[in-house]
Amino acid sequence: MTTKRVVITGASGLIGSGLVTALRERGDAVVTLVRSSPDGGLPPDTHVWGPRTGSLEPSVLRGADAVVVLNGVPIGDKRWNEERKALLLSSRVEAVGTVARTMAKMDDPPPVLVTASAMGIYGDRGDDVLTESEPVGKGFFAELCAAWEAASRPAKTAGIRVVNTRTSLVLSNRGGTLAPMIPLFKLGVGGRIGDGKQWWSWISDEDCIRAFLHVIDNEISGPVNVASPNPVTNREFTKGLGSALRRPTFLPTPRIALNIRLGSELADAVAYVSHRLEPGVLRGSGFTFNHPTIDSALEAALT
């Protein structure tokens, strides 16, 4: 495989940092975009851009084989209010829109734009198996994801291959979903949430990064469920994590505790909602999972 030049925004996040490492390990050149220059000056192959102001020099993208946009303030680290919701939306839509419009105006743009999205686009769907063809669900999180993906439309209209990755819970030892859960489970106070019947779709850190490489390298376009083919219920997830840590999990997490910590709207959107994803596009394009089961993914994340 020939080496590539890949431009990445949001490179300091969980997926971004892992993707930068993986690209460089296989010999690709990585260019990162940051919103401000650090005190010590910019490191090599790093450029300043302004997603909020729509400022991006086309020359930064010229000659790239792919552009990956991963910006967005964290979904679950603060309670949702109207100000926070506006920031969640703007931090994503402005970033994707700036890149997509810039690429669309170029005479010779990069051939592919990969954007982040999330499984929250489907809304709470109970036991339904969710393929990429399912419609947008209801609620703020679903609407946010829909707007996030729609911001890439100028690039698609210009004939550029666009991939919208709908990422599930990423199981990693570098942060993400497991970071706030592990301390509680180690203390023996981790347990199912609610009745534990809601589906939690997930993917191992390694497979998540490999999936991003896969959509960059292959002629895939449109929405892509970045998820294991074996989602589990929250009850099964809880049991698996407790077993991996050798801790009991018989105490359920009280709803009031999550409501106090997250606020009721955020708790409903991320903890009690049911997402049962089927990674149809990945599997149909020949992608194989190194960690297809929850036990193997947790083992990898906890070592």
pLDDT of residue 77 exceeding 90: no
Cross-strand bridge partners of residue 112: 161
Q: What is the mean predicted confidence (pLDDT) over 29-37?
A: 94
Alpha-carbon span 72 to 60, nearest angstrom: 21
Range of the domain at 193: 5-301
d(CA 204, CA 260): 29
- Report whether 81 contacts 267 (CB < 8 A): no
Count of structural domains within the chain: 1
Lowest average pLDDT, out of 65-79, 189-203, 240-254, goes to 240-254
| pLDDT at residue 43 in the model | 86
Q: Whose structure tokens read 């990674």?
A: 279
> Angle between the 294-301 and 205-217 helix axes, to the nearest 10 degrees?
100
User: What are the strands, taking DSSP E only, across 157-245?
Assistant: 161-167, 169-171, 199-200, 202-204, 222-226, 232-233
Say which CATH number the domain at 34 has: 3.40.50.720
Give the closest residue to 3 by CA, choosing from 210, 217, 208, 221.
217
Q: What percent of the chain has pLDDT over 70?
A: 100
1 band by pLDDT with thresholds 50, 70 and 90: low
Residues 116, 16: contact at Cβ < 8 Å? no
Q: Which residues, in sequence order, are CB contacts of 81 under 8 Å at separation 6+?
A: 263
